[in-house]
Amino acid sequence: MLLLLAPVLVACSTTEDSSSRREPDPRPPSSAVPSAPAAPSSTPPVEPAPSTTAEPGPVPSDGTPRRATLSIPGLDLSGLVVVPYEGFTDDAPGTAIQDRGRAASPHGPRGGTGPGGVGNYQVTAHRLSSTRAFEFLPSLRRGDRVHVEAGGVRYTYRITATRETSFRSPRSLREQRAAVPGRPGVEPTRAMITLSTCATIEDHAAGNYWSDEFDNPEHRIDKIGVLVAVQ
């Protein structure tokens, strides 16, 4: 009899009462739950807003006209004497200075400012006569540096543009001699430079042989620059 009951007892041991059945907890014990790493934020870190204040530029001079020397490394030109005088570009006194192999810098009511001054520092020199100081000026490129030394200070300008001036156009001359080159009547806020020489070769190639009383051709080639350093 005992042999017959054994299978029945075993069968009962594998059968649970439905009223007492509990669903297994799918979660592992709390001690086995690994700590999850913090989810990366989808929001990029906040960077400080860019400053709206302009970076301080070089301090210009007071604009006093004075004797200076000019150097242009890109043209292998150094130590060109620049003589200041009261007048306007390529007038009789300025032409006489250029005829002596120097550069002329007009100042006064119809001229420009002095070395490093706010406004238009105007420097003119011959290209084909005397010492041909500005023979290669037309090849000066944007970004090239021009150094002017005066009163123990070196002013460095960066070339930014090229202009053409016509001696036969009053408007063109006003633009060349303006405190802001090319913009007559505009109040200057920066120290700028105009380097000017004749366009005789270009005019003659175009069949233009006009010249004024000082033998200047109609057109001038002007290189414009802005002050970028003072040492």
Of 226, 206, 103, 208, residue with least CA distance to 159: 226
CB atoms within 10 A of CB 181: 27
E-assigned strand segments in the chain: 68-72, 77-86, 103-107, 119-124, 145-150, 153-166, 191-198, 219-230
Distance CA 30, CA 155 (A): 75
The residue to which tokens 């200041």 are assigned: 84
Q: How far apart are CA 149 and CA 152, in angstroms?
A: 7
Given 107, 147, 198, 219, the catalytic residue: 198
198 is catalytic: yes
Identify the active-site residue in 126, 147, 204, 219.
Answer: 126
The answer to whether residues 93 and 72 touch, using CB atoms and an 8 Å cutoff, is no
Is residue 147 flagged as an active site residue?
no
Q: What are the catalytic residues? A: 126, 198
